[in-house]
Amino acid sequence: SERILIANVLVSPAHYIGGQRVSSKKTFTVISPIDESVLGEVAAGGEKEVDEAVSAALKAYPEWAALGPKGRGVYLRRFADIVESRVEELAAVETASNGSLLESGRLRVMKRAAYNIRFFAEWAETLKGKSWESNGTQYSVLYQPSGVSALITPWNAPLMLTTWKVGPALAAGNTVVVKPPEWAPFTCSLLADCAEEAGLPAGVLNIVQGIGEEAGAALTQHSGISRISFTGSVETGRIIGKVAADRIVPASMELGGKSPLVVFADSDFEAAVKTALGQYDNAGQVCLAGTRILVEESIADKFLDAMKEGAKKIVLGDPRNIETDVGPLITREHFMRVQGFVERAKKQGATVAYGGKVSEKLGGLYFEPTLFVDIPEHAEILKEEVFGPVLTFQTFRTEEEAIEMANNTEYGLAATVFTGSAERAQRVRSAIIGGTVWINTFFARDLSAPFGGSKKSGIGREGGDFSFDFFCNIQTVAYKAG
């Protein structure tokens, strides 16, 4: 089928099923956030394409599973190498699709995508179940492949988050069907090219493009899948959870956040300010973002002034330019959503310290980094995830108050704490409910560490052994010589 040119890269707008490019009569239009131009028409799959993809994955499964971790590792290392060799193309296409910074893509994010594959291939090779004897019986715990995994990913970091699931699922011996995000579907299509070039057997990795409610829903409902790994919104997570419950299929959910960034007066001031301003990265379209800035009262004025000064220096602009710090929001629809949050916050009595509107200079989907202060306690902006460059600023007097405010949310994805006191760090850490707590650092993520959310931020953990606990069928064997 024909390819389309995106950022000077030829990309297939078709599905990838059983090693073949397959198109659909129905398509959807993908728009670039950079200038709201049309990037292309992409195949919109439904039940039929999902059924073909799951069938191809089921067909490829026995041989892939039988290869064992070492056999699969040969393919997956090659796969990772090819992704790595195409970092420049992948970064350019990702930037055109979702407006994330080209430079970060080139230098970090796309390399990390390759590493996601390599890391889990290697981890699988050293993964050891347990073995022991009890009452004259030999027990062992084995990690077995579990069949076909359905992988559903969002648009804010499509290739990074897709490989974060593809890597361990394939390494575990499963075959996969990926439903990429419809707002940024192109790098996942390129991932299929990489898989093909690496010689992955047909059907091991399949891509069904399409709309969430159609292709995504059909995939989660298919009787041939045995795992669902999802990253996205709470609303969609709830829908997928119900489908998974009906069919008793394990579902891992990495959902939203409204994470606190807690700054005590005894912390490294500059580092804390820098981290606070860093929450505007990717235009705030980051589930892990620490969007609720909580600062100890004694340094609050100084901190706010430093944030105001720092915000002036943030360069909002075309994500392809090297000097740009913050790019556009992903789509007009999402822009309206973010703007709606900002307008309601103003109506509910919150004060704009800076930003609060579209860039006068750039227009389009370029929303200014925004900070709210003097926010009424009941305001929506303190509770709901905005997923945009919008932060709230609140102050606290005591450690207890800081903890209470940090936990005053339905979410529990992450928390960041800045303090010079190791004892305080320990106390606050243990009181905060969150899947990840960063202390005097932010965003550090080692792939062997479990990642996931507490409360409404999700169910399950992935990373290191945890990925295999999820993707594998864990079998206990009790053996007695016959």
List, by residue number, the catalytic residues. Answer: 254
How far apart, in whole angstroms, are the C-alpha atoms of residue 337 and residue 107?
A: 31
Interface with ligand ADP (CB under 6 A), residue total 17
- How many CA atoms lie within 13 Å of 168's alpha carbon, on the beta-carbon side? 28
Q: Which of 40, 105, 216, 453 binds ligand ADP (CB under 6 A)?
A: 216
Q: How far is the CB of 391 from ligand ADP (least distance, A)?
A: 18
Q: What is the CA radius of gyration of the chain?
A: 23
The answer to whether 363 and 384 have CB atoms below 8 angstroms apart is: no
**Cβ within 8 Å of residue 241, ≥6 positions away:** 251, 253, 459
Instruction: Please give the single-letter amino acid code of residue 217.
Output: A
Q: Which is nearer to ligand ADP, 33 or 212 (CB)?
A: 212
- Is 220 a binding residue for ligand ADP by CB under 6 A? The answer is yes
Check if the beta carbon of residue 40 is closer than 8 Å to that of residue 10.
no
Q: Which of residues 230-289 bind ligand ADP (CB under 6 A)?
A: 232-233, 236, 239-240
Q: How far is the CB of 283 from ligand ADP (least distance, A)?
A: 13
Q: Is 213 in the site for ligand ADP (CB under 6 A)?
A: yes
Helix (H, G, I), strand (E, B) or coil at 293: strand
Instruction: Give strand pairing partners of 131.
Output: 140
Query: Residue 151 Cβ, how far from ligand ADP at the closest point, in Å?
Result: 10
What are the Cα distances from residue 94, in Å, to 4, 104, 109, 114?
14, 11, 10, 14
Residue 383 and residue 84: Cα distance in Å, rounded?
A: 39
DSSP state of 321: S
Q: Minimum Å distance from CB 155 to ligand ADP?
A: 5
**Binder to ligand ADP among 30, 60, 96, 152 (CB under 6 A)?**
152
- What residues from 160 to 199 belong to the interface with ligand ADP (CB under 6 A)? 179, 181-182
The one among 155, 280, 341, 366 contacting ligand ADP by CB under 6 A: 155
DSSP 128-171: ---EEEETTEEEEEEEE--SEEEEE--SSSHHHHHHHHHHHHHH
Residue selected from 31, 57, 172, 217 as contacting ligand ADP according to rule CB under 6 A: 217
**Residue range at the interface with ligand ADP (CB under 6 A); choices 208-216, 416-424, 441-449, 463-471:** 208-216
Output the smallest distance, CB 410 to ligand ADP, in A.
16
Q: Does 18 bind ligand ADP (CB under 6 A)?
A: no
- Residue 248 neighbours by CB distance under 10 Å: 6
Q: Among the candidate windows 7-15, 213-221, 272-280, 295-303, which touches ligand ADP by CB under 6 A? A: 213-221
Q: Which residues bind ligand ADP (CB under 6 A)?
A: 152-155, 179, 181-182, 212-213, 216-217, 220, 232-233, 236, 239-240
